[in-house]
Structure formats: C-alpha cells, structure tokens
Chains A and B, each alone.
Chain A
Amino acid sequence: MKVGIITFPGSNCDMDTKRACEYFGWEVELVSYNQKIENDYNIVFLPGGFSYGDYVSAGRLAKYSVAVSSLENFNGLIVGICNGFQILCEKGFLPGSLQINDSLKFICKNAAMQFNNKSIILPVAHKEGRFWANDEDLAVIKEKNMDFIKYSENINGSVENIAGIYDRENKIIGLMPHPERAIFEQTGSIEGRLFFEFLDQEVKRAN
C-alpha cells in the first residue's frame, strides 16, 4: 500500500496521518500542495488543519492548489479528514458543505458515532463541521448510502447526524472526526484503527 498525504500551508494533522499509516506498514509520502499528484498512490489523504488559514472560508482556497486540481485525474481512493473534508466539499468532489457549528463554538472532544453500523468513539475538533446539503443532494446521499459515519448524538447540528460521506462510485471519502488521532494507546483510544482497516479493505476491493 502506497499513500500520499498532501501538506497545505496550515495543515496540522499531516504527521498524525503519516504515523497512523505507518502503523499499518503503509509506504507514505508527504506531497506539497504545489505538486501534482501522481497516479501511483492507492490513497491520497487531505489532512486536517487550517489550509490557507481557512481564509475566505474553510477549504475554499486549497481547492485551487496544484495538488487538489490534479486530483481530477486521480484513480485511487481520496480521503479528506476534517479540513480535508471541507476542501473536498468546496471543490465539489463531495456533495454538501461544512458550516459553522450550531453552537458557534469550536468543539474538541471524543464523540460517539456509528461507523458502518458499529458504535465507536473518535476525537472531533472543528468549528466548521456542521454538515449541510440541499434536499436534492441529501436524496442522492441517502439513495447511494453515502452516509457511512454518523454522530450518535448530534454534536454540531449536522443534517441527519452526518459525520462523513463516502462516494463509492468515485472513490472519495470525507469525514469530520479524526481517526488518525486514535491509533495509539497513548492517545486514549485505538478505535481509529477501524477506519484505516476499512480503507485497506476498500483499496483491496477496488483492485
């Protein structure tokens, strides 16, 4: 398994994602936002953080970077975590958008969620994490069972408790929680491993 992680100016979860991938023995390359993404990766991650300072809007400016623009021709799996999810929605790779939390607060805690119908706890850390989609997009999300991860308790006002979506057709995943921060015992939870194991299965399934 070979994965690329795009580092934007303002990314701060790129190294966590790298260590998580290395835990599974995956070969990891950090790729600059200014570089084209080659097609030899099985997965490309858009990590969490504050790309371009989240200026104008979270994820808005990163979508014009060389790396993200080149993803239009990428054949592998694209995974956006937190800020990466915001970028994928802004880019139009995934339906809907991530907006300011109902509470107007930055939420930073471990939250219970349903992941592929399993109950797990994952760290969340975001201010613009309230998923919203118009009726048309929401119908598509439900029809194609894209909402693979949902909050058990709606912590930020997301429509249908959606914490992440997976477009299986185009092989694009976006989620607000941080599975990469729940890999090692030292960080209090190892349930994030389930997500990475899921990615491994999805890559094997596609090949």
Chain B
Amino acid sequence: MKFRANIITYLKDEVKDPQGEAVSMVLKNLDLADNSSIRVGKYFVLELDAENIDEFSEKIEKIGGEILSNPLIENFEIQKVEEV
C-alpha cells in the first residue's frame, strides 16, 4: 500500500529566525502588522510504500525527526496522513 503525508519543519522558539524577522519587518512596513512573529519553515510531501498505516507512521516519524529536521534546532510536524 502507498501512503502520503505532509511534513513541515521550522525553527524552535529559542532559535533566532532571521528570515522570519525579515518577513515581519515587511509586514510592519506595509502597515499590515505592527508586531508580528513569523517562523519560516519547509514543507515536504512524502509518498512511500508501507504494509499498513502503523508502519508508515513509524517510518515518517523517523524521516521527519532525523532527516528532514535537526532536533537541536528544529521542530517537525506530520500533517494529513492518507492512503493514496
């Protein structure tokens, strides 16, 4: 069976995010938000084969936590797991 999941990664709160700060500054300059907080991240769409949803979940936890993110500085979130 083939499953799909979306994974997002972004910097932890305690880690400075200069890209997020740059976006925040633009929002301020455009009078859209005076004091915004933006975290910039990455978005991955994964499709892979697995026997069942449990095996798939186990695999993507490992992929998200070890390969797509660096646990020292980044969080990862798995979203929208589905069979395709």
Contacts and interface: CB of A to CB of B under 8 A. Distances in A.
B70 interface: yes
A101 interface: yes
Contact of A56 (B22, B68, B72, B73): B68
Contacts of A134: 14, 72
Interface string B42-84: 1000000000000000000000000110101100000000000
A171 interface: no
Q: Looking at chain B's contact residues, is the secondary structure mostly helix, strand, loop, or mixed?
A: loop
Given A56-B68, A57-B70, A64-B67, A100 B42 contact: no
Q: Looking at chain A's contact residues, is the secondary structure mostly helix, strand, loop, or mixed?
A: loop
A161 to B, nearest CB: 16
Contacts of A96: 72
A64 B66 CA distance: 11
A56 B19 contact: no
A132 B15 contact: yes
A90 interface: yes
A19 interface: no
Contacts of A101: 18
Given A56-B42, A56-B67, A64-B67, A104 B72 contact: no
A90 B73 CA distance: 10
Interface residues of B, number: 12
A104 B22 contact: yes
Contacts of A157: 16, 18
Contacts of B14: 134
Interface string B1-27: 000000000000011101100100000
Contacts of A61: 67
Contact of A104 (B19, B67, B70): B19
Contacts of B22: 104
Interface string A83-126: 00000001000001101111110000000000000000000000
